[in-house]
Amino acid sequence: MSDTSFDLVVIGGGPGGYVAAIRAAQLGLKTAVVEREHLGGICLNWGCIPTKALLRSAEVGHLLKHADAYGFSASNVTFDLAKIVDRSRKVAGQLSGGVKHLLKKNKVAVFDGQGKLAGAGKVKVEKDGKPVADLAAKNIILATGARARVFPGLEPDGKLIWTYKEAMVPTVMPKSLLVVGSGAIGIEFASFYHNLGAKVTVVEVMPRILPVEDAEISAFAQKSFEKQGMKIMTGANVKAFKKGADNVTATIEAGGKTEDQTFDRVILAVGIVGNVENLGLEGTKVKVEKTHIITDGYGATGEPGVYAIGDLTGAPWLAHKASHEGVICVEKIAGVKGVHPLDTRNIPGCTYCMPQVASVGLTEQAAKDKGHEVKVGRFPFIGNGKAIALGEPEGLVKTVFDAKTGELLGAHMIGAEVTELIQGYTVARTLETTEQELMHTVFPHPTLSEMMHESVLAAYGRAIHI
């Protein structure tokens, strides 16, 4: 077998692609990854990881401004934007190097270039229009991810109107900022820039912000953001942009009225589209719907030997979903026993704003819409000793159970560190835990996790501390 013949070629080195490649190598498959830009993909280089580094800096700034509440004095607190951005980029760079090391350690070949299908079992790799390699593989996984959605008339220019990439490496701190879209990406950037002093306005076309979250959590979040000083406009549309020398005037329609508002910068966060172009899908049986590739529960497409995973295959657009899909896909290819499709209902979602938001499973309304009779428990952060000691009394834990079976249908949280806490409920759902097991689980004291226990108890009228 030559150096260009493999058992598996993965096109795309993001959190789905590189994890799939490593797992395949562990299973004894000769594997290659084709990546055109950065190992680790958008998540590691321009998404999940560097944004968390930015948000951490903003959190430190927030604590410094409120140092007096903890018995410290910090006056004239300032920040260096260039250093904040530089730290974020170094964090991303360190982890990207780590992915390169892991692939080398597992003897995965890496090809630098754009990969595309070139017939049955063949992948052509090019870089800047020049041929790099012609690869042969029994199996091919497409893991090319997605990119920011762009609407006609509202195109980013990289200077005044930003996508997530420009928003992550600002050279100037805007005094006023418009964020179009209130999903996880939009709200995280809104939180970051607001905590660094920008006057932030968020425009959302849906009736509420964070529209995929439970309605009660969304309402709690909006109230919190507005209390902090953000302006939130729901049921609103941005109709047009007019660019000035160093600002943008947005025409915003809301409540039947249209008004012009001027901002220093705009961030567009209005969804994503799959990177399905230039993959050589023409003439294959791979089906594409709304820019996403259709697969079965194991990543298989309609074309024999061709698979797809991650953001390329649709919602939820999460790195951990892509990684898990990659493992399932290669284990199915390798014939591992006991492999089963991914249950997307058990995938947690996290938004790292201030306060944080996290959830898993069905919202209360979705559970009712599916015909469940529900029992709902709630427990506020203000009733938790650890939250008060931390100076983080704002938040809520909400649990939704099937009244007949005790099944945990969903869990929804807002407050400090809930992105870490949510995994407890995720494990519970994966194990098909009922309220009884959760009630009899001993939670350590004093911890924020005690609220998870209390919320379960509250659903059955047994809460102790409220």
Tell me the catalytic residues. 445
Query: If we measure between CA atoms, which residue out of 197, 195, 200 comes closest to residue 181?
Result: 200
CA dist., res. 314 & res. 291, Å (int): 8
CA dist., res. 93 & res. 366, Å (int): 40
CA dist., res. 265 & res. 36, Å (int): 30
CA angle 23, 25, 30 (to 5 degrees): 140
Tell the burial category of 154 from Cβ atoms under 10 Å away from its Cβ (0-12, 13-18, 19+): middle
CA distances 8 to 121, 144, 145, 361, Å, are 9, 15, 18, 33
CA dist., res. 434 & res. 441, Å (int): 11
Query: If we measure between CA atoms, which residue out of 415, 399, 398, 397 comes closest to residue 353?
Result: 415
How many other CB atoms are found less than 10 A from the CB of residue 78? 6
* The residue to which tokens 């953000």 are assigned: 230
Q: Are 195 and 188 in contact (CB under 8 A)?
A: no
Which neighbouring-strand residues pair with 254? 236, 257
Query: If we measure between CA atoms, which residue out of 270, 241, 257, 90 comes closest to residue 164?
Result: 270
DSSP for 349-363, please give it: EEE-SSS-EEEEE--
What would the two tokens of residue 411 be? 């869990």
Q: Which amino acid is at 399?
A: T
Dihedral sign (CA 382, 443, 368, 221)? positive
What would the two tokens of residue 423 be? 């995994």
CA angle 19, 314, 6 (to 5 degrees): 35
CA dist., res. 224 & res. 214, Å (int): 15
φ and ψ at 47, to 5 degrees? -140, -110
Which residues make Cβ contacts (< 8 Å) with residue 209, sequence separation at least 6? Answer: 182, 187, 202, 218, 221, 222, 225, 232, 234
CA dist., res. 316 & res. 343, Å (int): 11
